[in-house]
Amino acid sequence: MHSTAEENYIKAIYKLSGGGAHGVSTNALADALDTKPASVSDMLRKLSAKDLVHYVKYRGVQLTDDGRRVALRIIRKHRLWEVFLVQKLNFAWDEVHEVAEQMEHVKSELLVNRLDTFLNHPRVDPHGDPIPTENGEIPQVEQKALSALEVEQTGIVCRVKDSQPAFLQYLNRVGIQIGSHLQVLDKIAYDNSLEININRNKTVILSSDVLSKIFVIKP
């Protein structure tokens, strides 16, 4: 079917385009995939020939309907394996991404669907990212970046939008996990950082960079 390299490009295009919303630049892809722009150009020509992307030279790239279907299937597998690793094999949430990057490329319809059943059709992965259904639908939950909360407001952590171990380990250190109860105590105007109380207990100050990666729902 598709090579691992092709699948990784498609997944990257999907993510960088915000689920297909806008076009993606060659440099952005090179950056995300840790390759050179020249290699990206090569691959885009190939993906275009396979009708997985709409590609106009110098003007960026977008997924076709076919491409989007492929992307969602890979993301589904990635996130289901992450759930498996955490729930069944007791991995920590900062240990799963790299392994799932490999498992997502295993080809077997039967496998994905049996895994989904085995895990009881989970809606989200260990980082709170939604798991696409077999039909390529993504269940949406109303959520808000922590950076958008006002002083006094509260929220429950439902998602963190960065799966790099360094970031997740930082959250471990601070004491934030999915389900944590947060309250904004104060806003520091100087750099838009917030003073946050965690689980009505510890209080920390989070930078605007970190705040923009944490998502909450109404308590």
List residues near DNA by CB under 7 A.
Answer: 3-6, 25-28, 33-46, 55, 57-60
Residues in the chain: 219
Among 2, 6, 39, 129, binds Mn ion (CB under 5 A): 129
> For residue 189, which of 208, 174, 204 has the smallest C-alpha distance?
208
Regarding 97 and contact with Mn ion (CB under 5 A), the answer is yes
Neighbours of 76 (CB within 10 A): 22
Contacts of residue 6, defined as CB under 8 A and 6 or more positions apart, other chains included, come to: 43, 46, 47, 50, 52
In the bound state with its own copies, the residue whose beta carbon lies nearer, of 66 and 98, is 98
Minimum CB distance to DNA, residue 103 (Å): 18
Q: Which residue has the tokens 């946050």?
A: 196
Minimum CB distance to Mn ion, residue 165 (Å): 11
Minimum CB distance to DNA, residue 3 (Å): 3
Rounded to whole angstroms, what are the CA distances from 214 to 92, 117, 168, 195, 208?
A: 18, 29, 11, 14, 10
Among 118, 148, 151, 202, binds its own copies (CB under 8 A): 118
Rounded to whole angstroms, what are the CA distances from 188 to 110, 150, 171, 209?
A: 52, 12, 20, 14
Among 56, 106, 151, 188, binds its own copies (CB under 8 A): 106
CB 2 within 8 A of CB 66: no
Among 82, 94, 95, 125, binds its own copies (CB under 8 A): 95
- The interface with its own copies within residues 155-184 (CB under 8 A) comprises none
Q: Tell me the number of residues near its own copies by CB under 8 A.
A: 19
Q: Which residues bind its own copies (CB under 8 A)?
A: 85, 88-91, 95, 98-99, 102-103, 105-108, 110-111, 114-115, 118
